A and B are shown apart, each in its own frame.
Chain A
């Protein structure tokens, strides 16, 4: 199971080549591009330039029957300076598994693994072609203007692989101002400093945006070490991180209905990998560096005879990992020194047209190329491989009746001349009460996830004959919106059930190395509920968001590779219950935000036996922030004081990796 893959692949028990395991670990830790997010100021007046027409908001958001959530700008602004993983944890049922503050964070969506969540950044897929995963800690929110979550089959409009769903991060032009400058500076506990600059300039037809950010932290928090005798208070070491990035965007819209954009961004993250709480290793070097470079050029045109979209992008994901231990001679010697580069070239062509006023037809085609090189110095091993991908998807959107919308999608992909099974989805949406906006949605889809380059070609263990993972999902939901007395209430409940066949799980080979195998059947099913409320009593503005999800993801048939008792048991690391609440209160220039997140216990073994192996206890987290905005004409000076882990809880989200207690940070924001 991919979500388990980091530790599994890392299982360097005795009789195998321990070093090989570390190399695979390094590869799995490889992060991808950083989605960058810039915060738009929370203005009272909303620009009517209809930014959304030119934004790369996913087409699927307008399609019927799909479940898409947009994380609004208010939430993005509250989280300025914090990472995307926290934003997702608080605003969606996505479970984020984080190895520590500033450390690797992977997601699990609808009971699937981390590689089953596709992530698009400005239209480029940033899942690593090697591991299929995305490290969300590498994506700074300063570079993102828009974050959308597409559940389940909604992801299929963008290609295969999103068995759980898709997260889309976009940077958009702000045509409302000719010149604008935003400066952010934040100072926080554990010597954490963060600086970001966002400049926008241009005319009504040509616009440029430049962004830069830098964040460093010593991350030397104190914690109670419950893994050692006497439970001493210790200071976290070797968990420091430095992240920086730069982004340049250029937008040209020669006519009202077309736009050409060019975006370039680079990010780098250097961090130490701290030891477990139970470890005594001294004088080790354990460090990782991620570099990501992306460039994308896109052309969009909206006309009577159809809408076109053409884009071409280049992506480079680099990962370097170093592990050194003290030798018998007293000096530090390398145990692992690995480096990998993954290049990808993405090309997409999309067209859709309203052929009748109730019928739209369209297609999207991709042609992608990957090439990967990785080497390890201590063992002098190297691997290099290439892969080309072709894909075509066609879709039909129909509105045969006033209240009924239907969508049908079918697609096919080919990887290195091996064609995949056909992917298809059908969904429908029916509007019961137009005034109350009571809607019912239902969908059925067949999606698949092609094995990653590590799955196919990793030495040793990779299996070029692996079958693609196939997901057959049914989902249904009801959504209700009401607008009583100037407030707005939205409630949405949905249920899903997926059967995933040939799930790829890495298991140890008797020779000691790990190899991926297709597990016959995994069933993931659950319930999701969302509620959002906004009201303005008197001079207050209140916004309340709540989400809850129930997820059962179990192995139904492992073909004998897992113990017999694993059948019907929850997959490790997937919580059954996940809930979050986020409240925002505004009064004149003051803002108070509070968030609460909960995950139920997570099992760490396939047998889920609480009597023999301890599960990870349930997680409760409270964060609060207080903000004040000072407006001078069109400029804004804002202050925000954040308190994370409000109740100073001592906890772990990964076994024996400490997390900080109550900590503070102050963010100052200037927008001109």
Chain B
């Protein structure tokens, strides 16, 4: 009997020895130095509420990829749904949408310098001058004004109120042309708002199409907006996706290109560095001149059933980068094409790569 007790107690103590084995300090760090490297950051959203967003860096010359570069430098994850990134005055600003913050890092070492809090659901940033920047937001019905020196929110530009339906107006991309800032409102919405840079208030609005997802400007300082048309059952409506060109001076819609089918899937858009061509995605990648009056017939690069999420052009070489989320539950992929559409490279990044930032 006693032997049995001893036996069981031994089993117990062996098991107890496993205790304290959970190692939650699992993010190893390694120093990062991007000085002298020309490359592009890829912001990987991760899965909503998983907190597995990440940042990848691709060196354009050596073609080397560093994945999870923020966590490697800092030992902590960026957060939940990292959305966009910008580099300004030697610092990187990483907007993390569902963590409600913007992490500020050193552009070479990726070391964390500070975090801007107090942002409900930040999306994109626009730098006004050396001290101020605007941050668009999905739910706040307004744009936050931040002081980039103190990293504090110093003001807000209301873009809606509880009097409007849904949570209008959400704000997404911001483009500054002269004394006007244009911002698209996509969520259950169809407007582009115009904000005066002097008063920092909304002065005008332009109706485009249902769900204007993204905006870019061309060399004529006109703005291209892609509307994805909504979806079946959308309480705001459902129409064919379209591409719309706005004259930034007259604030009128100059041209409207409607995609042929209700079920067409309009994706990201981008201009080339010269600003005279527009790339857009509709199952495949298409290229058109900004002076074209009709959508191109044939595609530029075949989509081959990929989930294209983000697209950007290299400001120096005009090469095209497109991200593919694949199955949304594993590493995504980025494809690099030359300006004439020839594939140059492709590499794996983090989960759901969404946007690019060239340094």
CA A598 to CA B15, docked complex, whole Å: 10
Instruction: Pick out which of these stretches binds chain B: A52-60, A212-220, A491-499, A613-621.
Output: A613-621
Task: For A612, list chain B residues within 8 Å (CB).
Answer: 67-68, 331, 348, 350
Given A537-B5, A607-B331, A656-B77 contact (CB < 8 Å): yes
Task: For A459, list chain B residues within 8 Å (CB).
Answer: 233
Whether a CB of chain B sits under 8 angstroms from the CB of A652 is yes
CA A12 to CA B354, docked complex, whole Å: 12
B157 touches A328 (CB 8 A): yes
A280 touches B22 (CB 8 A): no
A11 touches B142 (CB 8 A): no
The one of B235, B330, B351 that contacts A379, using a Cβ cutoff of 8 Å: B235
Instruction: Pick out which of these stretches binds chain A: B31-39, B160-168, B294-302.
Output: B160-168
How many pairs of A and B residues are in contact by the CB < 8 Å rule? 252
A11 touches B48 (CB 8 A): yes
B140 touches A328 (CB 8 A): yes
Whether a CB of chain B sits under 8 angstroms from the CB of A646 is yes
Within 8 A of B (CB), among A11-58: 11-15, 17-19, 21, 25
Of the four ranges (under 10, 10 to 19, 20 to 34, 35 or more), the interface on chain A belongs to 35 or more
A594 touches B12 (CB 8 A): yes
Whether a CB of chain A sits under 8 angstroms from the CB of B25 is yes
Whether a CB of chain B sits under 8 angstroms from the CB of A369 is no
A572 touches B350 (CB 8 A): no
B21 touches A620 (CB 8 A): yes
Q: Counting chain A CB atoms within 10 Å of each CB, which of B68, B121, B328 scores highest?
A: B328
Whether a CB of chain A sits under 8 angstroms from the CB of B112 is yes
The one of A14, A281, A535, A538 that contacts B120, using a Cβ cutoff of 8 Å: A281
B329 touches A649 (CB 8 A): no
Whether a CB of chain B sits under 8 angstroms from the CB of A229 is yes
A333 touches B167 (CB 8 A): yes
A542 touches B187 (CB 8 A): no
Within 8 A of A (CB), among B284-322: 305, 307, 309
Whether a CB of chain B sits under 8 angstroms from the CB of A380 is yes
The one of A18, A617, A620 that contacts B187, using a Cβ cutoff of 8 Å: A18
B327 touches A226 (CB 8 A): no
CA A321 to CA B166, docked complex, whole Å: 17
Within 8 A of A (CB), among B31-90: 45, 47-52, 67-68, 74, 76-81, 83
Q: What secondary structure prevails in chain B residues at the interface with A?
A: loop
Within 8 A of B (CB), among A593-622: 594, 596, 598, 604-607, 609, 612-614, 617-620, 622
Whether a CB of chain B sits under 8 angstroms from the CB of A655 is yes
CA A630 to CA B99, docked complex, whole Å: 52
B76 touches A228 (CB 8 A): yes
CA A8 to CA B2, docked complex, whole Å: 53
Which chain B residue lies CB-closest to A225?
A: B76
Whether a CB of chain A sits under 8 angstroms from the CB of B234 is yes
B52 touches A604 (CB 8 A): yes
CA A646 to CA B16, docked complex, whole Å: 10
The one of B2, B76, B119 that contacts A227, using a Cβ cutoff of 8 Å: B76
Task: For B132, list chain A residues within 8 Å (CB).
Answer: none
Task: For B166, list chain A residues within 8 Å (CB).
Answer: 19, 378-379
The one of B76, B121, B350 that contacts A325, using a Cβ cutoff of 8 Å: B121
Instruction: Pick out which of these stretches binds chain B: A122-130, A296-304, A505-513.
Output: A505-513
A279 touches B79 (CB 8 A): yes
Given A13-B81, A605-B330, A612-B331, A655-B50 contact (CB < 8 Å): yes
A327 touches B120 (CB 8 A): yes
Within 8 A of A (CB), among B16-32: 16, 18-27
Chain B residues bordering chain A, tally (CB within 8 A): 91
Please encode chain B, from 221 to 235, with 1 for each CB lying within 8 Å of some chain A CB and 0 for all others.
000000010011111
Instruction: Pick out which of these stretches binds chain B: A139-147, A238-246, A463-471, A561-569.
Output: A561-569
B52 touches A613 (CB 8 A): yes
CA A612 to CA B231, docked complex, whole Å: 34
B158 touches A329 (CB 8 A): yes
The one of A460, A565, A605, A647 that contacts B19, using a Cβ cutoff of 8 Å: A647
Whether a CB of chain B sits under 8 angstroms from the CB of A345 is no
Task: For B257, list chain A residues within 8 Å (CB).
Answer: none
Given A328-B140, A329-B142, A12-B81 contact (CB < 8 Å): yes
The one of A326, A334, A606 that contacts B329, using a Cβ cutoff of 8 Å: A606
B24 touches A617 (CB 8 A): yes
Whether a CB of chain B sits under 8 angstroms from the CB of A335 is yes
B284: min CB distance to chain A, Å: 13
Task: For B118, list chain A residues within 8 Å (CB).
Answer: 280, 282
B259: min CB distance to chain A, Å: 13
Whether a CB of chain B sits under 8 angstroms from the CB of A278 is yes
B327 touches A606 (CB 8 A): yes
Whether a CB of chain B sits under 8 angstroms from the CB of A201 is no
Given A4-B329, A511-B265, A612-B350, A278-B51 contact (CB < 8 Å): yes
Task: For A378, list chain B residues within 8 Å (CB).
Answer: 166-167
Which chain B residue lies CB-closest to A13?
A: B45
Given A328-B142, A329-B142, A656-B77, A537-B1 contact (CB < 8 Å): yes
Task: For B100, list chain A residues within 8 Å (CB).
Answer: 279-282
Please encode chain B, from 112 to 142, with 1 for each CB lying within 8 Å of some chain A CB and 0 for all others.
1001011111000000000000000111111
CA A508 to CA B81, docked complex, whole Å: 16
A329 touches B161 (CB 8 A): yes
CA A11 to CA B120, docked complex, whole Å: 18
Whether a CB of chain A sits under 8 angstroms from the CB of B143 is yes
A619 touches B228 (CB 8 A): no
Task: For A21, list chain B residues within 8 Å (CB).
Answer: 48
Task: For B139, list chain A residues within 8 Å (CB).
Answer: 325, 327, 333, 335
Interface residues of chain A, those whose CB is within 8 Å of chain B, are 4, 7-8, 10-15, 17-19, 21, 25, 226-229, 231, 276-282, 284, 325-329, 333-335, 378-381, 459-460, 507-513, 535, 537-538, 540, 542, 544, 560-563, 565-566, 572, 581, 583, 594, 596, 598, 604-607, 609, 612-614, 617-620, 622, 646-647, 649-652, 655-656
A612-B67, A618-B21, A655-B50 are known; give 4 further A-B pairs, CB within 8 A.
Answer: A13-B309, A19-B188, A325-B139, A649-B22
List 23 contacting pairs A-B, 8 Å CB cutoff, sorted by A. A11-B48, A12-B98, A15-B267, A19-B187, A25-B49, A229-B112, A276-B80, A281-B100, A328-B140, A329-B142, A335-B139, A508-B307, A563-B327, A565-B330, A604-B52, A612-B350, A617-B23, A617-B26, A622-B16, A646-B19, A650-B22, A652-B24, A656-B50
